[in-house]
Structure 1
Amino acid sequence: MRAHPPDLTTFVQYTTAFLLGSTLLHSAACTINDICDRDFDRPVERTKNRPIASGTVTVFQATVFLLVQVGVFVWVLTLVNRTAFLCGMFGVPVARFIPAPEGVTNWPQAWLGLAMNWGLPTAWLMTRPEDTRSVPMWTLSFGTFCWTIFYDTIYACQDRKDDVEAGVKSTALLFGAYVKPILSLFGAAFVGTLAYAGTETSMPLPYFVIGVGGCALHMIWQLGTLDVGIPQDCERKYNSNGDLGYIVAGGMLAAMYTPDLLQF
């Protein structure tokens, strides 16, 4: 049998803490990225007007802003249990080096996947601190890692021409003409881990119909209509992954509050 859903107060507290913490860490990672990539951003048409690259914001100002973001993030982590705190703190140094691989490896999207999805085990351990060896938790974390490679490769397809000239490496360049078939494998891995984690944790039918099925259909639509040669279409498909996140979250919420008779 699946666990009972949390009471409304607990749900709101944990959701607020996670949303605030993940937003702060994501914002800090973007700040670091803009600081470290300012020389790469200047020759690229789409990024040349970013605040640091254009000189609107100085590196010193950006660094101060970064320290404030990290400081508030650490404070938020002190509000949760020790296991989740230690897990979340691991994400800080990982996020610090997001920009580093872009000039030395074709897989910066993989590092981004590790950095941006460390919040999943942190959120899991907020409510189940004893689950450090949970197979569903780590399997689903791997799935979101694959999802990041999926959407960030689509994002990187916008700049393939400029990236070659600027010396920036990415999976979009590495995959070349096979970008869509290869991304279909990463998408399938994400959908598969959603299904596996749901089965192992006895999630009810709405999770599979809305979360897993909706995710699969959305990714099929993305790749089926994606034109990697049109930057504007790449941007639209990349942004649509926000909607995909709502679909998966909707499936989870429906599963939390569905009657037991619909259990899968």
Structure 2
Amino acid sequence: MSEVQLLIRDESAQYITTPKSAFKHYIELTRLHKFPLGNILIFWPSAWGIAMAATAASISPRVLAIETVAFLLGSTLLHSAACVLNDICDKDIDGQVERTKSRPLVTGAVSVSGAVRLLLVLTSASIAMLSFTNRTAALCGLVGVFPLHALYPLMKRWTWWPQAWLGLAMNWSFPVAWISITRSVDWAIVPTFFFGTVCWTIVYDTMYACQDRQDDIRTGVKSTAVLFGGYVRSILSAFAVIFVFCMAFAGYLNHQGPAFFIISCGGAALHFIMQFITWSPDIPAEGGEKFAMNHDIGYIIWGGMLLDYYLKVVA
């Protein structure tokens, strides 16, 4: 082959793209191609609930491990189902937002009917996972599917506080996990910690929503990112303080040890301080970066809880 022919072939190759398979488009619809980004935020409350309940009830490491893996799978399925539902409901809005205009339903890479079928499969699998726990926990878990996750996509049309509703949905696994371990509800510990996690979701999802604030204003989409305006940093700082306080108070009620208060509570507080010091709400890209940083808070809190469990129950 001549040198000219090679040059023509190489230059032409720059314009040849391989179309994505239908499978990859469906994976994008579930957000599993970004795993654990997003998925793990719905898992953390269940992991925390299992660890705290295991400490309170002196559950064996084997049961703790089995429950944790089961909730990881269930949480991932539910998060994927919620993402599919959200894209179905927001198809027209997503097409007007720079960050979301290339999603599979917007571009037509996946049909609405195909997305609905996928939604039914994922929802059925999520509900099936509840059969591995006790009846009370399963019934509690159904509330997380409907109305909490099912109605979330509509909240940005109804209220300026869709992030608060998302907080209820994303963290509902905490009481479900607690009941799965203890078969009962501690009406002091569970509501306190759960309320704190709702505040946490308001923090990270408002940061995330700041990426689309200008598009949301233009399209009339409601969010706390728009509602808080120029006070978004100070208001979210207050929600972060409430989360850490609720976590610490719930730990006190649950008789957690020093590892929990130093690593889980102290570590989360320091991480929040770092987030807010380095965050510029008016720079859209930083909203996504700070959202991702909240995944690390989960590891910090869980690590302190597991160490505390080990010292109090296993050692």
Task: Give me the TM-score of the superposition, normalised by structure 2.
Answer: 0.80
2:160 equivalent in structure 1? 106
Identity of matched residues, %? 49
Q: Distance in 1 between matches of 2:298 and 2:174?
A: 13
Query: Shift in Å at residue 4 of structure 1?
Result: 6.1
How far does the alpha carbon of each residue in 1:95-123 deviate from its partner, in whole angstroms, 9 at most, with x for none?
A: 01111011222111111111111111001
Among candidates 91, 96, 99, match of residue 150 of structure 2: 96
Q: How does 1:15-164 map to 2 (within 5 A)?
A: 15-93=68-146, 94-131=148-185, 133-164=186-217
Indicate the SS of the match to 2:152: coil
Q: Distance in 2 between matches of 1:227 and 1:115?
A: 28
Any unmatched runs of 5+ in structure 1?
none
2:18 equivalent in structure 1? none
> For the Cα contact (< 8 Å) 1:5–1:257, is it kept in 2?
no
> For the Cα contact (< 8 Å) 2:260–2:308, is it kept in 1?
yes
Q: Structure 2 vs 1, CA of residues 4 and 121 (structure 1 numbering), >3 Å: closer, same or farther?
A: closer
How far does the alpha carbon of each residue in 1:184-239 deviate from its partner, in whole angstroms, 9 at most, with x for none?
A: 11101100011001100110100011000000011111111100111111111110
Q: Distance in 1 between matches of 2:56 and 2:127?
A: 30
Give 1 or 2: higher helix fraction.
2
Please state if 1:224 is matched with 2:268. no
Structure 2 letter corresponding to 1:256? Y
> For the Cα contact (< 8 Å) 1:48–1:54, is it kept in 2?
yes
Indicate the SS of the match to 1:236: helix
Query: Shift in Å at residue 5 of structure 1?
Result: 4.1
Count of residue pairs brought into register by the alignment: 259
- Larger CA deviation: 105-114 vs 5-14: 5-14
> For the Cα contact (< 8 Å) 1:4–1:256, is it kept in 2?
no
Indicate the SS of the match to 1:97: helix
1:198 equivalent in structure 2? 251
Indicate the SS of the match to 1:258: helix
> For the Cα contact (< 8 Å) 2:57–2:182, is it kept in 1?
no
Bigger Rg, which one: 2
- Larger CA deviation: 148-157 vs 25-34: 25-34
Indicate the SS of the match to 1:194: helix
Q: Structure 2 vs 1, CA of residues 81 and 166 (structure 1 numbering), >3 Å: closer, same or farther?
A: same
Query: Shift in Å at residue 46 of structure 1?
Result: 0.4
Structure 1 letter corresponding to 2:184? E
Structure 2 letter corresponding to 1:34? D
Q: Structure 2 vs 1, CA of residues 91 and 4 (structure 1 numbering), >3 Å: closer, same or farther?
A: closer
2:241 equivalent in structure 1? 188
Structure 1 letter corresponding to 2:229? G
Q: RMSD over aligned Cα, in angstroms? A: 1.4
Q: Structure 2 vs 1, CA of residues 80 and 37 (structure 1 numbering), >3 Å: closer, same or farther?
A: same
Q: Distance in 2 between matches of 1:3 and 1:108?
A: 33
Q: Distance in 1 between matches of 2:142 and 2:130?
A: 8
